[in-house]
A and B are shown apart, each in its own frame.
Chain A
């Protein structure tokens, strides 16, 4: 028995090797292949638009106030009907997130009164210098949805007077 024992152990080990050869591999061939993310995944931020193309962001800077890493910087300006970026009086004329500072906690999402900032599923962030790590409003804004118009828009007076839309409790 003492002589046979190493042989048995060897066979057992080889069996494990052989078995895993037949299994489906877990390695994903990134970047050709990407693993889908979970619904609550917190990736790079996206600034959302309404269907008509107006920006949801109203420049209230509550995201910046909520941010524990002080990564967000917002400056507001006033909308007019000739040059409208968002519903209501106010829009973000400057919106910057320093991705090196961001800890992806999602507090900005929670603080946003218009659901404008959403942590998306993009996790591919790389930069070669610090300046590039600052994402501007143009980089963060999502593309204009089909049927919508780019901002600034010329709108009819009295139509977009409210900044904060009526909202339901979040489902997810």
Chain B
């Protein structure tokens, strides 16, 4: 139990745990102390001096050890100088004055100094409108400068720091947040200060430059417009964009994101996505996202996307109406054996409806993925209440045959942080990975031997209080089983469990919904009607293209005219995840909801609705009116999802640090989570099986 300290900040009594910094204590009661270099996710450095406040402490009588009482009140001794609120820890009876004449004057003068060489760029700066320097100058700064305009320091304004991030040297205020983020949080120390004094610059010392998959986060925490993304450059002003909450669909971490959208003349008056920003979820991605999630959304607006159904006539795919396409599908599936092959790119609702379709027609529903062990994660997967951020000393993390940095970057961040907090990190991988330097134990072996090595370490790993095991894309069946065997008896313990580093966002959801992987697709498809959703086997392997030709008929629902779709008899245009609502189940078995950001393209429909329409054409009844209703169906028919509803998924609780409100100076431009933190799946409903 940590001790609670009582102090007074601006006449307000505050109770905070021992060890809290003044700036955080003030934040908790809604008092803003301006900061630039301090960030709640990083250790304080006290570089920018913006947070100067008056601090007084009770005078203690040395003889008695009790506070001195004067005129019936505790005597407070104020220091001769101001103190930085970001480095000073609270103490009992402390009195902090953040808005006294002396403190105000100091804050104003620091801002005046910071602005001596800051260019008057705000109108053309991408940060303008969500800029801490701008906001704090308005709130705390001077209205005029006493420095000579002609003596302004001029520097390069257009420096590419890598191909994704631009640096404007003139705007930089040398707070070092980006450098510290790269060094301490990302573990890629590729940025550094160069030169001194007024000539101080930010440089990158890696080749290729700014070689980090987390580089985009530096633009979020940069308190000025020094670091901006090349992707968004001059895209729009921040106040012109709308925000729509979503979930990143690129890996099984399930980072919470926000799409910023705007109606544009350039895009023919359509509402388009301008950028992706992180959304806070302290149990999933904290306030970070990787560059893949931040910059790889352009495919949803690709002009080559399918907007209308296609039906094969005389060996050629031709545009058709939905009615024609459904009628053609009905004819194909009538009396035939059906195989549904779906990938984890689809939402829970889509996968559920496709399975309903397959089951209703006495067919098979297969998952388009090769990584084994999914049914083990439905049993030994992490339990409700798990938070990788809670792991530390006494916990063990095994990363077997997975390169988290590339396969699931945010898990890399979280595992790295856990290892630094003292967790016993063991890595067994055939090649070197970026996580290696944080491992307590590192084993390099052939892919086939990984399972045996895990077995050797069984005693050491199971001795830990908490055990989390990641197994990755190069894992085999034996490895998955060995990993699961270490977790016997920990099935319902939070912070314990097996995590598959799947290739796609919702592979876990597919497993939970009862999908089995397609063991030998080539054999299964022969003579049957194959219904492919969000899977492109023909594009992935020419052998499968040959195999698919042996099928009786091929029905595809897709975003693009893929190699598989080209072979199809009927192609349905599907809506991208950004155009519809739905939910994904992350690798940590957390169901999270995404919302529509842009209007759908052409006649495209959401995948669950297409499956329902096909089912209805075949005489089955499958819910397809809305994703919400499908989720209600899932909740009653799949035990793991029992009790989950869209209302539940949209619930939020207070998170620390406070970000994304009016106080961008504190946490950066990350969005506050108002649209749902998601819900863990019920623990191991199949435990008795």
Q: Name A residues whose Cβ lies closer than 8 Å to a Cβ of B.
A: 58-62, 64-65, 73, 75-78, 88-90, 93-94, 96, 113-114, 161-164, 166
Instruction: Kindly list chain B residues whose C-beta atoms are within 8 Å of the C-beta of A58.
Output: 123-124
* Known contacts A59-B234, A61-B237, A61-B240; A163 and B124 CB within 8 A of each other: yes
A89 → chain B closest CB, angstroms: 6
Given A61-B236, A65-B240, A89-B157, 11 extra CB contacts under 8 A? A60-B128, A64-B240, A65-B237, A75-B236, A94-B265, A94-B266, A113-B123, A161-B157, A162-B119, A163-B121, A166-B149
231-252 of chain B: CB within 8 A of chain A? 233-234, 236-237, 239-240
Q: Is the CB of A73 within 8 A of B124?
A: no
Contact of A164 among B121, B149, B264 (CB under 8 A): B121
Q: Is the CB of A73 within 8 A of B121?
A: no
Instruction: Kindly list chain A residues whose C-beta atoms are within 8 Å of the C-beta of B139.
Output: none
Q: Is the CB of B157 within 8 A of A93?
A: no
A59 to B122, CA, bound (A): 12
Q: Is the CB of B265 within 8 A of A60?
A: no
Q: Which residue of A lies closest to B166 (CB)?
A: A89
B267 → chain A closest CB, angstroms: 10
Contact of A90 among B119, B234, B240 (CB under 8 A): B234
B158 within 8 A of A: yes
177-236 of chain B: CB within 8 A of chain A? 233-234, 236
In the A-B complex, the 7 residue pairs with the closest CB atoms = A60-B123, A76-B234, A90-B124, A163-B124, A113-B123, A94-B265, A61-B237
A62 to B128, CA, bound (A): 10
Q: Is the CB of A88 within 8 A of B265?
A: no
Q: Is the CB of A164 within 8 A of B266?
A: no
B63 within 8 A of A: no
A75 to B121, CA, bound (A): 17
Q: Which residue of A lies closest to B149 (CB)?
A: A166
Instruction: Kindly list chain A residues whose C-beta atoms are within 8 Å of the C-beta of B124.
Output: 58-60, 88-90, 163-164
Contact of B123 among A73, A75, A77, A163 (CB under 8 A): A163
Instruction: Kindly list chain A residues whose C-beta atoms are within 8 Å of the C-beta of B237.
Output: 60-61, 65
Instruction: Kindly list chain B residues whose C-beta atoms are within 8 Å of the C-beta of A96.
Output: 265
Instruction: Kindly list chain B residues whose C-beta atoms are within 8 Å of the C-beta of A60.
Output: 123-124, 128, 237
A-B pairs with beta carbons under 8 Å apart, 30 shown: A58-B124, A60-B123, A60-B124, A61-B237, A62-B123, A65-B237, A65-B239, A65-B240, A73-B265, A75-B236, A75-B264, A75-B265, A75-B266, A78-B234, A88-B124, A89-B124, A89-B157, A89-B158, A89-B234, A90-B124, A93-B266, A94-B266, A96-B265, A113-B120, A113-B122, A114-B123, A163-B124, A164-B123, A164-B124, A166-B149
A96 to B149, CA, bound (A): 35
Q: Name B residues whose Cβ lies closer than 8 Å to a Cβ of A.
A: 119-124, 128, 149, 157-158, 233-234, 236-237, 239-240, 264-266
Instruction: Kindly list chain B residues whose C-beta atoms are within 8 Å of the C-beta of A94.
Output: 265-266
Instruction: Kindly list chain B residues whose C-beta atoms are within 8 Å of the C-beta of A59.
Output: 124, 234
A132 → chain B closest CB, angstroms: 16
A79 to B265, CA, bound (A): 19
Q: Which residue of B lies closest to A165 (CB)?
A: B120
A150 to B7, CA, bound (A): 66
B678 → chain A closest CB, angstroms: 35
Q: Which residue of B lies closest to A163 (CB)?
A: B124
A104 to B124, CA, bound (A): 25
A144 to B620, CA, bound (A): 69
Q: Which residue of B lies closest to A111 (CB)?
A: B123
Which residue, B123, B264, B265, B266, has most C-beta atoms of chain A within 10 A? B123
Instruction: Kindly list chain A residues whose C-beta atoms are within 8 Å of the C-beta of B266.
Output: 75, 93-94
A57 → chain B closest CB, angstroms: 10
Which residue, B121, B122, B233, has most C-beta atoms of chain A within 10 A? B121
Instruction: Kindly list chain A residues whose C-beta atoms are within 8 Å of the C-beta of B158.
Output: 89
Instruction: Kindly list chain B residues whose C-beta atoms are within 8 Å of the C-beta of A73.
Output: 265
Q: Is the CB of B234 within 8 A of A77?
A: yes
Q: Which residue of A lies closest to B266 (CB)?
A: A75
B263 → chain A closest CB, angstroms: 9
A161 to B121, CA, bound (A): 11
A58 to B122, CA, bound (A): 11
A151 to B157, CA, bound (A): 23
A75 to B234, CA, bound (A): 8
A89 to B120, CA, bound (A): 13
A111 → chain B closest CB, angstroms: 9
Instruction: Kindly list chain B residues whose C-beta atoms are within 8 Å of the C-beta of A61.
Output: 236-237, 240
Instruction: Kindly list chain B residues whose C-beta atoms are within 8 Å of the C-beta of A114.
Output: 123
A89 to B233, CA, bound (A): 10
Q: Is the CB of A78 within 8 A of B149?
A: no
Q: Which residue of A lies closest to B154 (CB)?
A: A161
* Known contacts A60-B124, A163-B123, A164-B123; A78 and B233 CB within 8 A of each other: yes
Which residue, B120, B236, B266, has most C-beta atoms of chain A within 10 A? B120
Instruction: Kindly list chain B residues whose C-beta atoms are within 8 Å of the C-beta of A164.
Output: 120-121, 123-124
Q: Which residue of B lies closest to A136 (CB)?
A: B265
A114 to B157, CA, bound (A): 19
A161 → chain B closest CB, angstroms: 6
A54 → chain B closest CB, angstroms: 14
A65 to B239, CA, bound (A): 8
Q: Which residue of B lies closest to A112 (CB)?
A: B123
A65 to B122, CA, bound (A): 14
Instruction: Kindly list chain B residues whose C-beta atoms are within 8 Å of the C-beta of A75.
Output: 236, 264-266
A60 to B127, CA, bound (A): 12
Instruction: Kindly list chain A residues whose C-beta atoms are within 8 Å of the C-beta of B240.
Output: 61, 64-65
Instruction: Kindly list chain B residues whose C-beta atoms are within 8 Å of the C-beta of A163.
Output: 121, 123-124
A163 to B119, CA, bound (A): 10
B145 → chain A closest CB, angstroms: 14
A64 to B123, CA, bound (A): 12
Instruction: Kindly list chain A residues whose C-beta atoms are within 8 Å of the C-beta of B239.
Output: 65
A162 to B237, CA, bound (A): 19
A96 to B264, CA, bound (A): 12
Instruction: Kindly list chain B residues whose C-beta atoms are within 8 Å of the C-beta of A64.
Output: 240
Instruction: Kindly list chain B residues whose C-beta atoms are within 8 Å of the C-beta of A77.
Output: 234
A72 to B128, CA, bound (A): 19
A75 to B265, CA, bound (A): 8
A78 to B124, CA, bound (A): 10
Which residue, A94, A96, A113, A163, has most C-beta atoms of chain B within 10 A? A163
Q: Which residue of B lies closest to A162 (CB)?
A: B119
A152 to B338, CA, bound (A): 60
A138 to B240, CA, bound (A): 23
B130 → chain A closest CB, angstroms: 13
A73 to B266, CA, bound (A): 12
Q: Which residue of B lies closest to A164 (CB)?
A: B120
Which residue, A78, A89, A162, A166, has most C-beta atoms of chain B within 10 A? A89
A60 → chain B closest CB, angstroms: 3
A129 to B239, CA, bound (A): 31
B156 → chain A closest CB, angstroms: 9
Instruction: Kindly list chain A residues whose C-beta atoms are within 8 Å of the C-beta of B264.
Output: 75
Instruction: Kindly list chain A residues whose C-beta atoms are within 8 Å of the C-beta of B121.
Output: 163-164
Instruction: Kindly list chain B residues whose C-beta atoms are within 8 Å of the C-beta of A113.
Output: 120, 122-123
Instruction: Kindly list chain B residues whose C-beta atoms are within 8 Å of the C-beta of A88.
Output: 124
Instruction: Kindly list chain A residues whose C-beta atoms are within 8 Å of the C-beta of B233.
Output: 78
A164 to B124, CA, bound (A): 9
Instruction: Kindly list chain A residues whose C-beta atoms are within 8 Å of the C-beta of B265.
Output: 73, 75, 94, 96
A110 to B236, CA, bound (A): 21
Instruction: Kindly list chain A residues whose C-beta atoms are within 8 Å of the C-beta of B123.
Output: 58, 60, 62, 113-114, 163-164
B146 → chain A closest CB, angstroms: 18
A87 → chain B closest CB, angstroms: 10
A121 to B392, CA, bound (A): 71
Instruction: Kindly list chain A residues whose C-beta atoms are within 8 Å of the C-beta of B122.
Output: 113
